[in-house]
Structure 1
Amino acid sequence: MQSLSSMCKKLGRSSRLFVELAPSISFSTSCYFCSQKKKNNSYQEVNQNRYSNLIHSIVSTRISSQTPESLLQEDELLYGPVSKCKTQEQGSGPKVAQNTILLLNPEKRNGSNTITDSIPLKIPLQKNKIPSVTRILQQTMTEKQILILERWKHRMILELGEDGFAKYTSDIFLQGKHFHEVLEAMLSSPEQLKELDEKTISSGYVASVQHVLKDISGVRALESAVHHETLKYLGLMDCVAEYRGKLCVIDWKTSEKPKPFIRNTFDNPLQVVAYVGAINHDANYNFEVQCGLIVVAYKDGSPAHTHFMDSDLCSQYWSKWLLRLEKYTEKEKNQTTENPK
């Protein structure tokens, strides 16, 4: 057996041989490949200008983020130019009512605005084809409002059952009716108050508004009908009186849940301004109203929340009311066209 040292010596000699022969082998190999026929390279067929532009765009995108202008150019390249009608729709502001009827009436403002009769007006409501404020608001609710109402109804039916829910809604209606009767009697004549049931007078709703009644004076109308002669709608107001020296349309509301903010009253502000506008354009009323008041009374007798609406706030809600009125008119027109008599 050969020793380890002798094997290493032989390996060293063979390594030197490989190093010495390497140049000749490399030369012969290179000559061999040079003698071969060149194969076509697929990269050589690529459009070099377009390829360089592609590389430049990739590298530049990594360095700097895209701008809205570059995104718009890419969208136009891929999908075509943006439609002009869509651009106008996206850039349009809030919808404006086509009606230009004012909330106030300058003619009444310049006329008599003092109390001529100590007895409040109480004009009966004449039912005809003219839509009521309540109907207009109900028929023009948003999808969100309808969904909220349907969810509430579904939840109450699950809790109370069909018959229980029917009784609940009936009781709510009767409580509201009795509450309005008490307020009408308290604001008109004590004699009518004596005719009411003691249980009704001492209800939590009545106790809830006691601090509000102290600020009310100069009652002009109670449970009185109003008709906007130009816009063609009518309604039944709860009260027109002075609240802390400001003549207001007053709307009494009942609730089992607190409503400390005016946004909690949903469409009630629209109802109030609809009555304000109607009074100012109804010949039965010789005075002008510029303000509104929403009073939310509570069943447990806790102090009612008052939401005063000055002339500026009423003007804002008046614009919204005009939009709802136009929506109702358009809806009725479409139904008439689809179902002619």
Structure 2
Amino acid sequence: MPKEFKFNKVDPKVLPDTKGKNIDGIRFYEIDGKSYPSVTSVLSLLKKDSLQEWRNKVGESVANWEMGRAARRGKAMHTLVEQYLQNQTPSIRDVLPLGLFKLIRPYVDQIDNIKMLETIMYSKKLTLAGQVDCIAEYNGKLSVIDFKSANKEREEGWIENYFLQTTAYAMMYEELYGEKIDQLVVILACEDGIAQCFIKNKA
């Protein structure tokens, strides 16, 4: 039997009514007359050099194909996780995203009392915005939870960007709602058949 997830949603009036737009490859959210760049876009600029090195190594056509494939894979897996957390029947039947979802489902089942799911937040202090995957209790602790997919198993030192991203979302949530986030959780599904869950206490 699939788990039945409970929700404890936050007051939506505090959240911005915006969808975001792309300008020169950077995603911006228009909030109260100001443009806030997305956390993901800002962090991608930090690894621009290493990404260009990889593009030069494999060639533009291969790089574009692989990035497109990874984006489709991640989007499909996110959809499955979101539907599962909303107690809905999965709508995607493709083998790869379904397989990745099944890998991480034992970790996803540790989630409960969901406050946010695929929700846009922002911070005036950070002058950043972005769409968080999930804010909920994870093993009983209020957490920012991020779902990722990859080709192969990762070491924790390789995913510092993910923790920077979840830290930014935690700070946004704390600024908007005045409630402390206890931990940061990154759940990773790998095409080599490995599922990983990285957890850090938030300072």
Please indicate the TM-score interval, normalised by the length of the shorter structure: 0.7 to 0.9
Give me the whole-angstrom Cα distance separating, in 2, the residues matched to 1:277 and 1:269.
Answer: 12
Pairwise CA distance, 1:204: 2.5
**Structure 2 partner of 1:211:** 106
**Structure 2 partner of 1:118:** 7
Give me the whole-angstrom Cα distance separating, in 2, the residues matched to 1:148 and 1:230.
Answer: 29
Matched, 1:277 2:171: yes
- More helix by percentage: 1
Pairwise CA distance, 1:200: 5.7
Pairwise CA distance, 1:164: 3.8
Pairwise CA distance, 1:183: 0.4
* Unmatched segments (≥5 aa) in structure 2: 1-5, 20-28
Contact 2:70–2:150, Cα closer than 8 Å, also in 1: no
**Residue among 129, 133, 152 paired with 2:54:** 152
**Structure 2 partner of 1:176:** 74
Tell me the TM-score normalised to structure 1 length. 0.48
**Residue among 29, 36, 47 paired with 1:130:** 36
**Structure 1 partner of 2:201:** 310
Give me the whole-angstrom Cα distance separating, in 1, the residues matched to 2:99 and 2:58.
Answer: 23
Give me the whole-angstrom Cα distance separating, in 2, the residues matched to 1:218 and 1:132.
Answer: 26
Where 2:120 maps in the other structure, the secondary structure is strand
Deviations 1:247-270 (A, max 9, x none): 1000111111211x3211131111
Contact 2:8–2:113, Cα closer than 8 Å, also in 1: no
Give me the whole-angstrom Cα distance separating, in 1, the residues matched to 2:180 and 2:168.
Answer: 14
Percent identity between matched residues is 23
Give me the whole-angstrom Cα distance separating, in 2, the residues matched to 1:280 and 1:236.
Answer: 15
Matched, 1:252 2:143: no
Contact 2:123–2:129, Cα closer than 8 Å, also in 1: yes
Pairwise CA distance, 1:188: 1.0
Give the aligned CA root-mean-square deviation in angstroms. 2.4
Contact 1:221–1:239, Cα closer than 8 Å, also in 2: yes
Deviations 1:4-60 (A, max 9, x none): xxxxxxxxxxxxxxxxxxxxxxxxxxxxxxxxxxxxxxxxxxxxxxxxxxxxxxxxx
Contact 1:120–1:221, Cα closer than 8 Å, also in 2: yes
> Larger radius of gyration, structure 1 or 2?
1
**Residue among 170, 190, 202 paired with 1:298:** 190
Contact 1:226–1:278, Cα closer than 8 Å, also in 2: yes
**Residue among 178, 181, 184 paired with 1:289:** 181
Where 1:165 maps in the other structure, the secondary structure is helix
Where 2:170 maps in the other structure, the secondary structure is helix
Deviations 1:277-318 (A, max 9, x none): 010011xx464323110111112432x11111113xxx3xxx
Where 2:36 maps in the other structure, the secondary structure is coil
Where 2:126 maps in the other structure, the secondary structure is coil
Where 2:68 maps in the other structure, the secondary structure is helix
Contact 2:121–2:169, Cα closer than 8 Å, also in 1: yes
Matched, 1:267 2:161: yes
Contact 1:249–1:276, Cα closer than 8 Å, also in 2: yes
Change (3 A) 1:219 1:131: same
Deviations 1:212-240 (A, max 9, x none): 02222111110001111333211110001
| Count of equivalent residues | 181
Give me the whole-angstrom Cα distance separating, in 2, the residues matched to 1:118 and 1:138.
Answer: 32
